[in-house]
């Protein structure tokens, strides 16, 4: 086997003293080529998959077993088109392969997953990875889609050309996994015949930079060569160096070469990229055979409608309307069922126990608090089912395409819309997904506005307020869905307004180019969607059984103690002088101009942990207050509540204002923690709390006072 | 040397009508943009077919659907191919 001069072949036999360490594999490839599906199939884990680029933004580690029963560690890495990383998620791939991450072992071997239907483009990253001189296995994925596109891809021919294992597979159907495991189980893997002619003007610069990186920057010889090639592909040397800044000498060499090429008019980056593609073209000459000409694919035909400047918007509006209508119409029966079970269970507990603090703790604290939130489980499941459908079919990327134009009006582009759309489910994965955004300012603006998108935690608050506002069956589901839709629209409007404001003040920058690959449409993978939906549902119940239960018990204690000196005091008098009541009274002057009293104030304080805690808090407070033996639905208890003067507390106006408050206010500790981690500073999460909660107060103040002035 | 755009009948991708095909001739965006476009395999000489869009363009390049915002589509100059050459 002929090896290029920079690659030293591994010893034929491992030294006797070498530790018998299990090999570490990395799974790499272009975005959306099936890496995580393969990772899940190999490890049995259940990492999230979706049909849009950028689902995986951080490394994931799992274990599989070789044919000889030995453990093999596998690292699943975010997708990238090139090792010249442009965004934080792409940098994870480069840093792990270059051994720059202290928390991750440098992989011994690499599985390159390539999309057989787009072989040449996928091989560009493989070509860069072969520079690293490490054993590589190519998993030729999506062979079925290549066949549909009229392409015959010959794995044996590619294997013959490169001299490394090339395994044809369809990860989604589990095909080719046995063969892949067999290849992974081999004690020794051959190194690729990776020979390509560097362009004449660039070759001496590669040699000089490689030597400098090795001698002055402490890089190993192979990493030095790969990094030298990246420095001559990417115009931003600081970005390539990442966490390992370059020495002054390497910078000097790089600057000298670049100045020279500029004088000569040499397009060094273009030369290098073209020479790689030329080498790939030669490699694929006999690997890909077009068996037949295919007309526009089904995805092209669907895109002609879904990405149309008029029809695209119409379909988008119908999808969103269907989502909100389903939340009301489909969830009604299971929700009523859970409501009845919670009420009858509360009644049964009351009947079984003697009156006293323990009974009140169980019925008002635990059942009132947790039961109040559990009834919203059906809606949460429906929301996640719909989001799963959008992610699985490939529509997420189309929504980003449609939204590019309005996003460009506020200085962002369609790429920012995928994290925002994901934030309808939960802001935390939405904020994580901003790692795919290349421009740091655009990324920060997207992080700052993402929590304004109405997440699933707001759903219980909206639903409770709509139920209080429109009791029973007095209004059709369409009206309730329209109110809900308007709250989502208000949040989305807030996103656009604040993105516009921030891009013109704090984060001024020129509009960015956007290039985004739209994946082919796929039938929804119902098994994956249902699994993810039930996982999120379980998480919701887990939170209800832990955090919300804990807060409910503590809140019950704070409303029940200290006891009123007069044993004949009413329940309202008891709460008013309790610890919680005193805190609520302290807050009341600030929130009274919004139409909220001290009891609502308690809910606002406790729901800073998570928005849905507001519902459980209302359950505890109004459950304690209605100190009788009947367990009434919370919405009825809210409707019956009054101000001291006798005026109703939850008027239609107050219900709407409360919803508006939750549209804007930053009431989620987990989001604060994630923003702190992603921005690496407390500055931005604190700013986010201030601007969001400040806006909530101001908008509610205007809305309530205007409503009052108009006689509502 | 005068730019290619002045020698040939070049138009930006966003002005290409839906359904038409063209050859990419010149990239006029910043260096970083040109690098990414080339690395994704549709630099100079690649064939592109417009699927839809005017503000944001949807194109087919080497079997891949690529969305380009207006700024990106303005930066890719193409030479339209006659209908019988597609």
Q: What is the pLDDT of residue A6?
A: 43
Contact A514 B67 (CB under 8 A): yes
Q: Three-state SS across A269-320? A: HHHHHHHHHHHHHHHHCCCEEECCCCCCCHHHHHHHHHCCCCHHHHHHHHHH
Closest residue, chain B, to A148 (C-alpha): B63
Q: What is the pLDDT of residue A594?
A: 96
DSSP 3-state of A152: strand
Whether A118 and chain B come into contact, CB under 8 Å, resolves to: yes
Q: What is the pLDDT of residue A632?
A: 58
Whether A279 and chain B come into contact, CB under 8 Å, resolves to: no
Nearest one of A50, A107, A100 to A76, comparing CA atoms:
A107
Measured in angstroms, the CA of A404 and the nearest CA of chain B are apart by 7
Domain ranges (residues) in chain A: 24-185, 330-375+527-649
Mutate to test the interface with A, among B26, B32, B39 (most CBs of A within 10 A): B39
CA dihedral B28, B29, B30, B35 (to 10 degrees): -90
What would the pLDDT profile of A142-189 be if each residue is shown by its tens digit? 999 899 889 999 999 999 999 999 999 998 888 999 999 999 999 889
Structure tokens at B81: 């191919």
pTM: 0.84
pLDDT at B3 over 80: no
What would the pLDDT profile of B25-82 be if each residue is shown by its tens digit? 999 988 889 999 999 988 888 999 998 877 889 998 888 899 999 999 999 999 999 8
Contact B64 A118 (CB under 8 A): yes
Considering the domain boundaries, does residue B43 fall inside one?
yes
Q: How far is CA A694 from CA A60, A512, A590, A643, in A?
A: 38, 30, 12, 25
Whether B41 and chain A come into contact, CB under 8 Å, resolves to: yes
CA dihedral sign, ordered A523, A527, A530, A531: negative
Q: From the centroid of its chain, how far is CA A617? A: 29
Range A632-637, long-range pairs (CB < 8 A, 24+ positions): A632/A343, A633/A339, A633/A343, A634/A368, A634/A372, A634/A464, A635/A464, A635/A467, A635/A468, A635/A471, A636/A471
d(CA A180, CA A649): 66
Contact A517 B68 (CB under 8 A): no
Contacts of B48 in chain A (CB under 8 A): none
d(CA A53, CA A255): 35
Mutate to test the interface with B, among A30, A122, A515 (most CBs of B within 10 A): A515
- Domains in chain B: how many in total? 1
Contact B37 A515 (CB under 8 A): yes
Q: What is the pLDDT of residue A109?
A: 96
Contact A81 B67 (CB under 8 A): no
Measured in angstroms, the CA of A199 and the nearest CA of chain B are apart by 16
What would the pLDDT profile of A86-132 be if each residue is shown by its tens digit? 899 999 999 999 999 988 899 999 999 999 999 999 999 999 999 99
Structure tokens at A233: 């592909």
In A486-525, the residues whose Cβ lies within 8 Å of chain B are 511-520
Helices (H) and strands (E) in chain A, counts: 33, 9
Whether B74 and chain A come into contact, CB under 8 Å, resolves to: no
Scan for tokens 């899940």, then name that residue.
A40
Task: List A175's β-bridge partners, or say none.
Answer: A170
Q: Which CATH class is domain A24-185?
A: alpha beta
Task: Name the residue facing A404 among B29, B39, B56 (closest C-beta).
Answer: B56
Whether A307 and chain B come into contact, CB under 8 Å, resolves to: yes
Scan for tokens 């709509």, then name that residue.
A466
Closest residue, chain B, to A305 (C-alpha): B52
Q: What DSSP line would sit under A218-271, residue for residue?
A: ---HHHHHHHHHHHTT-S-HHHHHTTSPPPHHHHHHHHHHHHHHHHHT--HHHH
Residue stretches of chain A with pLDDT short of 50: 1-19, 629-630
Q: What is the DSSP letter of A109?
A: E
Closest residue, chain A, to B34 (C-alpha): A270
Q: A397 and A431 in contact (C-beta within 8 Å)?
A: no
Contact A515 B66 (CB under 8 A): yes
d(CA A167, CA A180): 6
Measured in angstroms, the CA of A429 and the nearest CA of chain B are apart by 23
What would the pLDDT profile of A432-481 be if each residue is shown by its tens digit? 889 888 889 999 999 999 999 998 889 899 999 998 988 766 667 788 88
Distance from first CA to last CA of chain A, Å, rounded? 85
Q: What does the mean pLDDT of chain A come to?
A: 88
Whether B39 and chain A come into contact, CB under 8 Å, resolves to: yes
Q: What is the pLDDT of residue A626?
A: 58
Considering the domain boundaries, does residue B53 fall inside one?
yes
Contact A516 B66 (CB under 8 A): yes
Cα radius of gyration rounded to whole Å, chain B: 12
Q: What is the pLDDT of residue A625?
A: 60
Residue A357: CB atoms within 10 Å:
13
Task: List A289's β-bridge partners, or say none.
Answer: A152
Contacts of A234 in chain B (CB under 8 A): 32, 35
d(CA A614, CA A620): 10
Mutate to test the interface with A, among B1, B18, B35 (most CBs of A within 10 A): B35
Q: A126 and A152 in contact (C-beta within 8 Å)?
A: no
Structure tokens at B60: 């087919």
Contact B39 A233 (CB under 8 A): yes
Closest residue, chain A, to B37 (C-alpha): A515
Domain range for B52 is: 4-81
Q: What DSSP line would sit under A522-547, residue for residue?
A: ----HHHHHHHHHHHHHHHHHHIIII
Q: What is the DSSP letter of B80?
A: E
Q: What is the pLDDT of residue A18?
A: 43
Closest residue, chain B, to A82 (C-alpha): B39
Considering the domain boundaries, does residue B23 fall inside one?
yes
Considering the domain boundaries, does residue B86 fall inside one?
no
Mutate to test the interface with B, among A239, A405, A513 (most CBs of B within 10 A): A513
d(CA B71, CA A417): 17
Considering the domain boundaries, does residue B10 fall inside one?
yes
Question: Residue B77: which CATH number?
Answer: 2.30.30.90
Q: How far is CA A670 from CA A128, A595, A674, A675, in A?
A: 38, 28, 6, 9
């Amino acid at each position: 086997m002929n090896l290029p001069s920079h690659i030293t072949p591994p010893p034929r036999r491992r030294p006797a003293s070498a530790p018998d360490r299990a090999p570490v594999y990395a799974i790499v490839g272009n975005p959306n080529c099936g890496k995580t599906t393969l990772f899940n199939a190999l490890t049995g884990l259940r990492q999230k998959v979706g049909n849009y680029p950028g689902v995986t933004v951080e490394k994931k580690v799992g274990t599989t077993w070789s044919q000889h029963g030995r453990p093999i560690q596998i690292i699943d890495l975010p997708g990238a088109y090139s090792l010249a990383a442009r965004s934080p998620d792409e940098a994870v791939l480069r840093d792990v392969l270059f051994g720059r991450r202290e928390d991750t072992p440098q992989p011994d071997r690499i599985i390159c997953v390539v999309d057989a239907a787009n072989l040449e483009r996928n091989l560009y990253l493989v070509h860069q990875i072969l520079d690293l001189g490490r054993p590589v296995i190519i998993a030729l994925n999506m062979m079925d889609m290549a066949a549909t596109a009229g392409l015959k891809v010959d794995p044996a021919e590619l294997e013959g050309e490169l001299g490394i294992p090339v395994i044809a597979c369809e990860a989604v159907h589990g095909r080719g996994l046995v063969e892949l495991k067999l290849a992974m189980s081999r004690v020794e893997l051959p190194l690729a015949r990776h020979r390509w002619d560097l362009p004449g003007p660039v070759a001496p610069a590669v040699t000089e930079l490689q030597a400098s990186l090795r001698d002055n920057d402490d890089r190993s010889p192979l990493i030095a060569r790969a990094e030298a090639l990246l420095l001559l592909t990417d115009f931003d040397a600081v970005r390539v160096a990442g966490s390992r800044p370059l020495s002054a000498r390497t910078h000097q060499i790089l600057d000298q070469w670049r100045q020279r090429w500029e004088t000569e008019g040499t397009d060094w980056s273009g030369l290098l990229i073209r020479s790689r593609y030329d080498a790939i073209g030669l490699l694929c000459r006999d690997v890909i055979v077009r068996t037949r000409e295919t007309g526009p694919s089904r995805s092209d035909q669907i895109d002609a409608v879904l990405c149309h400047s008029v029809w695209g918007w119409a379909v988008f509006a119908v999808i969103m309307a269907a989502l909100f209508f389903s939340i009301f119409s489909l969830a009604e029966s299971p929700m009523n069922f859970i409501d009845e079970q919670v009420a009858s269970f509360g009644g049964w507990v009351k009947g079984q126990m003697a009156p006293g603090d323990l009974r009140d703790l169980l019925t008002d604290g635990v059942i009132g608090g947790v039961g109040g939130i559990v009834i919203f489980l059906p809606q949460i499941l429906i929301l996640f089912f719909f989001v799963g459908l959008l992610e699985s079919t490939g529509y997420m990327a189309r929504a980003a395409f449609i939204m590019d134009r309005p996003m460009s009006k506020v200085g962002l582009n369609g790429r920012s819309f995928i994290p925002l759309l994901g934030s309808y489910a939960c802001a935390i994965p939405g904020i994580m997904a901003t790692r795919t955004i290349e421009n740091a300012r655009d990324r920060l603006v997207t992080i700052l506005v993402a929590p304004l998108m109405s997440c699933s935690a707001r759903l219980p608050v909206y639903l409770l307020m709509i139920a209080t506002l429109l009791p029973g069956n007095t209004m059709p589901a369409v009206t309730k869905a329209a109110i809900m839709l308007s709250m989502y629209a208000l949040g989305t409007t807030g996103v656009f307004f604040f993105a516009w404001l921030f891009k013109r003040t704090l984060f001024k920058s020129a509009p960015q180019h956007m290039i985004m690959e739209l994946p082919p449409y796929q039938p929804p993978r119902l098994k994956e969607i249902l699994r993810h939906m039930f996982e999120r549902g379980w998480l919701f119940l887990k939170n209800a059984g832990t955090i919300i239960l804990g807060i409910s018990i503590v809140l019950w204690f704070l409303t029940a103690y200290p006891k009123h000196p007069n044993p004949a005091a009413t329940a309202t008098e008891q709460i008013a002088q309790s610890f919680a009541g005193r805190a609520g009274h302290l807050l009341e002057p600030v929130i009274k101009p919004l139409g909220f009293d001290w009891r609502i104030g308690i809910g606002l304080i406790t729901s800073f942990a998570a928005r849905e805690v507001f519902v459980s808090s209302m359950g505890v407070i109004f459950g304690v207050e209605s100190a009788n033996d009947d367990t009434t639905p919370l919405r009825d208890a809210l409707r019956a509540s009054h101000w001291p003067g006798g005026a109703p507390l939850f008027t239609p106006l107050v219900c709407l204002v409360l919803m508006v408050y939750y549209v804007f206010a930053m009431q989620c500790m987990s989001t604060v923690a994630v923003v702190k981690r992603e921005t690496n500073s407390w500055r931005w999460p604190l700013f986010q709390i201030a601007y969001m909660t400040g806006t909530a107060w101001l908008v509610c103040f205007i809305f309530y006072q205007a409503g009052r002035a108009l006689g509502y | 040397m005068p730019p290619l755009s002045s020698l040939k009948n070049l138009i930006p991708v966003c002005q290409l009508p839906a359904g038409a095909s063209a050859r990419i001739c010149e990239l006029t965006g910043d260096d970083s943009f040109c690098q990414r476009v080339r690395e994704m395999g549709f630099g100079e000489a690649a064939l592109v077919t417009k699927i839809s869009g005017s503000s944001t363009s949807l194109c087919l390049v080497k079997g891949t659907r690529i969305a380009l915002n207006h700024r990106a589509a303005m930066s890719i100059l193409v030479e339209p191919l006659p209908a019988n050459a597609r």
